[in-house]
Structure 1
């Protein structure tokens, strides 16, 4: 008998893997309250921009002030070219986000060409996606959520999950997320036969 080959420890041993959960409205408000109480102006703006923009972490950390600001005021709508697809995606900035962004920019200062979330160790760079992930981990832990179930993608999913729940409009969500294929949106939201049947049952003729 040949001895069984010794395998290394799986990278995901002891971890929960799979799509991260979207935050619920009550979680978002709890996070905002926590960050306001802690006077974390940068992180409050980061939370609000992440939810409104629905950007991937790699795109969020590279935002520059000029991407979200025009004529000295936060834009109502902004357009960013996605790193993954090379295609532009447009998103809204709600009043809540414009207010928190204004508060951060008063402290941030800087030029329009500067990164919105600058690195604290490199003056000419931005925070890394790993740093962003650690920040989100700290947030969810602070309000009593299981950090293994939530991550940076939770913020990307939060608003579209609510829109899908309220409207069932996959095409609108595809546009908001910047997906090139509707199938990607279906997989991203985890739409299954139960969702389809629930919407069908609600359509009473």
Structure 2
């Protein structure tokens, strides 16, 4: 093992030295990432790699990274997930090179572990209108938790919010504009600001939850004890994801997450004749091309585009 890899754990280092090296390199990488979501993904990948190093009692090497890649494939992780985790490792290698820990040749060797090929475009999951209606019947609205969970599903499905946006939603963000309720000046992905209209049925769900929880200010969503008592000031975005996943399982749908409700909202808007540009504003996309890719394309056979050529 080259001495230039001093900050990368090796079998000759003491446990204290290895621990310090791991923290140093890990922090370099995570501090270079802006998105909280990316930080979590990168942190998971690096922790797994460093654990593998420790279990093998060896430093970082191409062979070890290929083993890490193979283990992810064996777990049947998606190509996109594998590639994101490999990206974190490349970031680690890049930071090590920039800080003079490894040379260019070693960096190129370590960073050369190939991505998995992605065939086609994964459009993700979404619900039909009937499935969406069934999902909304899952929460037991006779209980306070049911009122909260129904409000979560309603806001994700009716307003196409991201779960991080929903977790940060304050009661003061819900305002009257032009005679209707909206989430005003919502700051989303990439710092883009948008205003999201709230359908009446969603506003009623919000109101019922606020009355049941006896909250008037601060974060809209709160954690609850098993007895139904509000026990915190903010519900985490992963708790929101869990509500969606568990509710979907209740209607027989596996591997369904909060973002799939956002996609469902967009799909149902489009199927009901929604203007593509207005859907772009709803989702907070930077371009209409992003919205088109997000919605995907579906060929209409019953009423085909070439039925009315006027010939």
TM over 0.5: yes
SS in 1 for 2:208: helix
Which residue does 1:111 correspond to in 2? 216
SS in 2 for 1:191: coil
> Would the aligned equivalents of 1:57 and 1:153 in 2 still touch at CA under 8 Å?
yes
TM-score normalised per structure 1: 0.79
User: What residue ranges of structure 2 are gaps of 5+ in the alignment?
Assistant: 1-61, 81-121, 226-230
Q: Which aligned pairs between 1:38-57 and structure 2 lie closer than 5 A?
A: 39=143, 40-57=146-163
What count of residue pairs does the alignment treat as equivalent?
Answer: 191
* Cα deviations by residue, 1:27-77 (Å, 9 ceiling, x for unpaired): 12112222146640100111111122211111111101112256xxxx622
> Matches of 2:257 and 2:73 in 1, distance apart?
18
Which residue does 1:85 correspond to in 2? 190
> Matches of 1:103 and 1:96 in 2, distance apart?
11
Larger displacement relative to structure 2 (95-104 or 8-17): 8-17
Q: Which has the larger radius of gyration?
A: 2
* Cα deviations by residue, 1:111-154 (Å, 9 ceiling, x for unpaired): 32x11112459734x22222111111101001111x22x21111
> Would the aligned equivalents of 1:89 and 1:178 in 2 still touch at CA under 8 Å?
yes
CA spacing shift, 1:12–1:21, aligned 2, 3 Å? farther
User: What residue ranges of structure 1 are gaps of 5+ in the alignment?
Assistant: none
Q: Kindly state the Cα deviation for residue 158 of structure 1 after the two structures are TM-superposed.
A: 1.5
Higher relative contact order (CA 8 A, sep 6+): 1
> Would the aligned equivalents of 1:52 and 1:159 in 2 still touch at CA under 8 Å?
yes
CA spacing shift, 1:191–1:45, aligned 2, 3 Å? same
CA spacing shift, 1:202–1:140, aligned 2, 3 Å? farther
Structure with the largest fraction of helix: 2
Which residue does 2:246 correspond to in 1? 138
TM-score normalised per structure 2: 0.54
> Matches of 1:116 and 1:164 in 2, distance apart?
29
